[in-house]
Amino acid sequence: MRIGKVLVAGALKLGGLIATFAAPLAPVFGAPVYGVTALGTLGGTYSYGYGINASGQVTGYSGTSTGAYNAFLYTEGAMLDLDALLAPSSPIAGQITLQIGEGINDAGQIVANGCYNSGPCEAFLLTPYSLASGSVMPSPVTLGNQHVGGSAQQTLTVTNTATANGYSEGLLASAGTGTGAAATSGSTGLIAAGNSDSPSITLGVDTSSAGHKTGSVSIDLESDGAGTEGEGVTALSPASVSVSGNVYRYAAPSIAPLNLGAFHVGTSSVSGNLTVADLNISDLALEIPRRPAIQITCDAR
C-alpha cells in the first residue's frame, strides 16, 4: 500500500493581505501515487482525453497536421484516428469525419460526434468488430482398436466461440501438419460466431503397420471478415489435438501335419491331435492367439 501526504489550508494576514498556506499532515494510508503516460497527438499540437475504459483505452480528440481536429482511440500504446478505423463495409465510411470521442465502455464501444462531408453533424455509436475465436473438440482423441489397413476416424467439432452479437468475424479451420502417426484431413467453410462445424475435419492414425500409435495434429484457424466488416483473413493461433490408438495384425494360423500311423481295415477308429499355432511374432500388436486342442478321428471301416 502506498503512503501519501495531504495538506491542510491555513491563512496569514500580511500587511492587509491574506496569504494562504498549506502545511503537511502526517502520512496517511491509501493516497494514490500516479504514473503518467503522454498519449501524443494525431500530428497536431494538442489532444484532449474524454473517456477511458477498464482496458486502459482512451478516446477524445486531437489536432491534426492540417490544423483540423479528429476523434481518436488510444490503445496498446498508440493513438489512432477513429476515421481510419471505420470498416470499409460501413455505409458511412468515407462520408463522415469523426471529430470528438466522448466516451468508451468496457466492450470497446465509443460514442463520438462527427459531421457528414455534406454538412450535417450528429452523434455516432462505434462498435468494434471482434476476431473469431476457435475451439476444437474432442481433445485428446482415443480411437478404438482396429486392424492393419483399418480406417477408424474421429470427426472433430470446430466452434467459433466469439460472441454472436453481429460484430464478430467468421471462423475458418483446416487440417494442418501432423506429428508421429497422426493423420488428418478436411477443412470447414465459414463458421459464424456461436456456430459449429462437426463433419468436415477428421482425425485418425496410420494403420499401415501394427502397434500402439500416437501423434498430434495442428488445426489451422483463421478469422475471416467476409460477410461482416470485409476486412479479409487474419491468422489465429492453431489448435493442437493429440490422438492415440491400437492397430492389430490378423492372426496367422498354422496347422502342423498329423500322421496317424498304419492301421488295418476294420479298425473301429484312429484318432490324433492337431497342433494349431499362430506364426506371428509374440508382441503386443497381435491378435490373441487361439491354440485349441483339436482331435481328429478316422473311421477305417
pLDDT in tens, 119-147: 899 999 998 989 999 999 999 999 999 99
CA distance 104 to 69: 19
CA within 13 Å, CB half, 192 = 6
90: its cell numbers: 460501413
Which residues of the chain fall short of a pLDDT of 50? 1-23, 286, 288-289
Query: First vs last Cα of the chain: how many Å apart?
Result: 109
pLDDT of residue 292: 52
Predicted local distance difference test score (pLDDT) of residue 299: 54
Give the span between the Cα atoms of 171 and 292, in whole angstroms. Answer: 58
pLDDT for res 268: 73
C-alpha to C-alpha distance for 62 and 96, rounded to whole angstroms: 17
The pTM of this model reads 0.66
pLDDT of residue 271: 78
pLDDT value of position 258: 78
Nearest to 201 by CA among 270, 144, 155: 155
At residue 287, the pLDDT reads: 54
Domain 134-248 architecture: Sandwich (2.60)
Number of neighbours of residue 233 by Cβ within 10 angstroms: 13
Three-state DSSP at 222 gives strand
pLDDT of residue 276: 76
What residues form DSSP beta bridges with 229? none
